[in-house]
Amino acid sequence: MNPTLLIVIVVYIAATLGLGYLAYRRTHSEKDYLIAGGNVHPYLMAMAYGSTFISTSAIVGFGGNAGMFGMSLLWLTVFNIFVGIFIAFVVFGKRTLIVGRNLGAQTFPEFLGLRFKSRFIKHFSATLVAVAMPLYAAAVMIGGARFLEQILHINYNWAVWIFALFVGAYVLTGGLKGVVYTDALQGTIMFFGMVTLLIMTYAKLGGIIPAHEALTALTAQVPAALAAKGHLGWTSMPAFLSEYWWIVVSTLVMGVGIGVLAQPQLVVRYLTVKSPRELNRAVVIGGVFILFMTGVAFVVGALTNVHFMQQSGQLALMAAIDPVTHAPNVDKIIPLYIDSAMPGWFTYIFTLTLLAAAMSTMSGQFHVIGTSISRDLYESLRKKDGKGNSLLINRIGLVVAMIVTVWLTFRLPAGIIAVATTTFMGTCAAAFLPAYTAALYWPRVTRIGAIASMVIGTFTTLFLLVFVYAKGSAGLGISMALFGKATLAGFPWTVIEPIAIALPLSAVVLVAVSLATEPAEAHIMKRLLVPIGTVASEE
Amino acid sequence: MFGIPDPQIWLAYILCITSAVLCVVYGVTHWNSEE
């Protein structure tokens, strides 16, 4: 390995471990471990939210997809910023903070459980997180370890263990403080890496407008196989209602864009700040951060076509053909572009950017899986909430989370990354979003309505994933084993992301069942919306 | 616009930037608000 790169990585690791140690020194109570003491600076909160939100797969995986689909993916960035930051912080974040603090909640399952006065809801949510999130964490881990294997020239199995132990170490010792402090460093690195990538790409291609015009000029080069599926060029939306249109709109925009609102590892970030004022300030940083993450990845991903055409007379997809399988691999587009178009010094920055992106997402996942197992399930089922040595129990929960994730990492096929990511976000949205939204804004919602919505949202997503949605059902193979068919439905159902069906259904069930059941607890909302710390006792 | 012929794409390009500007304006105007 290049000695400069080695020095850069060693400095980065030393800085991360230093921040992990600082967090360890400042973690004395369960509140420190679970919500970073509840007094985090808005910059740290926004960076921790943004860098957890954006994984390596958002930059490399989805950026590579933009190399194939083109700039239509920018609609996902619009959703990422407007829904993932603005709506998330202003509409959901502030109320979650006020209601969550007044309830005394320190995790997302606990928040839902206390709000609806239901242990079932708490345990169901925690079980869903503990079962589904390791899949997403393993997907991030596979991406990160493959990347580490490539740059450090080490064995893949070693790369997985290095990743898991390194990230696990600072989450184990510093809890959410360890996550937040290191996320802020990692987010800052990611921001500067992506800003530089954008500037250098536009500069290389002659400026913003000439670069886009050159990409538009490639429209005639769209391969016939892609054109048949609705591809109209890299600066055009796919043909309305074509296969590619459905993929872009439902899989990417709906699945990942809206799915972000109900992810437990992000919701818990709202509880780390002192008051809604800090969230107002964090909106500024969060919005700009995300613009330079997915916005840059999608613009640059699409523009790689111009570079590869100028350099070798071929499209990005052709440049990324795997020499072994002879099939194009979209995940290779961004790394190939960095290698062939950017100067050597930038590869160091970009390496750090991707390492930071993987680690910041994984730390948040480990933390939430761990707290779901320890606080929300183990302690709650033993009725020991807050009693005994909670810090130790939470740390044991984290070790379990790590082992489960590593175990899955060694067993999942490599092609599962994008499917696991969208599946997790989709499942969270269908299971949690209607109940979570109603918990904050709809006094008429009932416990039974919330339970029905969560259960139906979860199982509808699972059913669609196993038997209908082609990418999921073919990958899982259960439909094939039972019925001899990869999927039980036909187009367009096979390409519509499960969230697009399961989320509306879950919302309708929530409203219908709530209206049909006794509205016994409508006064709760008023009591919980008083300023933090002034909530009256129930009697 | 911006060398992009399809309005559905340049609109997305503009909306990305507008959404980030909205976040900045909202945050700055509510900088000290406890609401």
pLDDT of residue A386: 54
Instruction: Return the CA Rg of chain A.
Output: 23
Can you name the residues that pair with A37 across neighbouring β-strands?
Answer: none
Of the candidates A403, A470, A436, the residue with the CA atom closest to the CA atom of residue A130: A403
CB within 8 Å of A225: residues ≥ 6 apart: none
Q: Give the N- to C-terminal CA distance of chain B in Å, as an integer.
A: 39
CA distance A363 to A52: 8
Tokens of B10: 């340049």
SS3 assignment, position A321: strand
Who wins on pLDDT, A11 or A529? A11
What letter would DSSP give residue A387?
-
ipTM metric: 0.97
Half-sphere exposure of A128 (CA within 13 A, CB side): 30
Residue in B closest to A77 by C-alpha: B16
For residue range A209-233, what is the model confidence (pLDDT) as tens digits? 999 999 999 999 999 999 999 999 9
Q: Which of B12, B26, B28 is facing A86, going by the closest CB pair?
A: B26
State what percent of residues in chain A have pLDDT above 90.
58
For residue range A283-324, what is the model confidence (pLDDT) as tens digits? 999 999 999 999 999 999 999 999 999 999 999 999 988 788
Q: Give the N- to C-terminal CA distance of chain A in Å, as an integer.
A: 67
CA distance A237 to A192: 30
Single-letter amino acid code for the residue at A369: I
pLDDT bucket at A472, cuts 50 / 70 / 90: confident
Residue A86 burial (CB count, 10 A): 21
Of the candidates B3, B7, B9, B20, the residue with the CA atom closest to the CA atom of residue A69: B9
Who wins on pLDDT, A253 or A48? A48
Average pLDDT over residues A120-134: 94
Residue A449 burial (CB count, 10 A): 25
Residue A208 in contact with residue B14, Cβ under 8 Å? Answer: no
Query: What predicted TM-score, i.e. pTM, was given to this entire model?
Result: 0.90
Instruction: Return the CA Rg of chain B.
Output: 14
pLDDT at A155 over 70: yes
CA distance A81 to A284: 11
Tokens 């040595």 -> residue: A389
Residue A368 in contact with residue A264, Cβ under 8 Å? Answer: yes
pLDDT of residue A539: 42
User: Are the Cβ atoms of A284 and B30 closer than 8 angstroms?
Assistant: no
A288: enclosing H helix or E strand = helix A276-290
For residue range A59-91, what is the model confidence (pLDDT) as tens digits? 888 899 999 999 999 999 999 999 999 999 999
Of the candidates A30, A26, A108, the residue with the CA atom closest to the CA atom of residue A385: A30
Top mean pLDDT of A5-19, A291-305, A350-364, A418-432 is at A291-305
State what percent of residues in chain A have pLDDT above 70.
95
Query: How far B13 CA sits from the closest chain A CA (Å)?
Result: 6
Chain B, residues 1-35, CB within 8 A of chain A, namely: 2-6, 8-9, 12-13, 15-17, 19-24, 26-28, 30-35
Helix axes A333-341, A344-371, angle to 10 degrees: 150
Residue A72 in contact with residue B9, Cβ under 8 Å? Answer: yes
Average pLDDT over residues A168-192: 93
pLDDT of residue A148: 78
Q: Which of B4, B26, B27 is facing A212, going by the closest CB pair?
A: B4
pLDDT bucket at A418, cuts 50 / 70 / 90: low
For residue range B5-32, what is the model confidence (pLDDT) as tens digits? 999 999 999 999 999 999 999 999 999 9
CA distance A352 to A345: 12
pLDDT at A465 over 90: no
pLDDT of residue A46: 95
Average pLDDT over residues A430-435: 96
Instruction: Please report residues of B whose CB lies closer than 8 A to that of A275.
Output: 34
Burial of A535 (0-12, 13-18, 19+ CB in 10 A): middle
User: Are the Cβ atoms of A276 and B34 closer than 8 angstroms?
Assistant: yes
What letter would DSSP give residue A485?
S
What letter would DSSP give residue A237?
P
Average pLDDT over residues A406-420: 78
CB within 8 Å of A77: residues ≥ 6 apart: A290, A291, A294, A295, A298, B12, B16
pLDDT at A416 over 80: no
Q: Which of B9, B22, B27 is facing A280, going by the closest CB pair?
A: B27
Alpha helical stretches, state H, A412-498: 417-441, 447-463, 470-476, 478-483
Single-letter amino acid code for the residue at A205: L
Query: How far A481 CA sits from the closest chain B CA (Å)?
Result: 42
Cis peptide before A109 (omega within 30 of 0): no
User: Are the Cβ atoms of B26 and A90 closer than 8 angstroms?
Assistant: yes
pLDDT of residue A389: 66
Top mean pLDDT of A129-133, A143-147, A485-489, A534-538 is at A129-133
pLDDT at A15 over 50: yes
Residue A460 in contact with residue A161, Cβ under 8 Å? Answer: no
Residue A393 in contact with residue A387, Cβ under 8 Å? Answer: no
Mean pLDDT over the full length of chain A: 89
A70: left (phi over 0), alpha (psi -120 to 50) or beta: left
**What is the phi/psi pair of residue A98, to 5°?**
-65, -50
Burial of A366 (0-12, 13-18, 19+ CB in 10 A): buried
pLDDT at A256 over 70: no
Single-letter amino acid code for the residue at A231: H
Largest Cα–Cα separation, chain B: 44
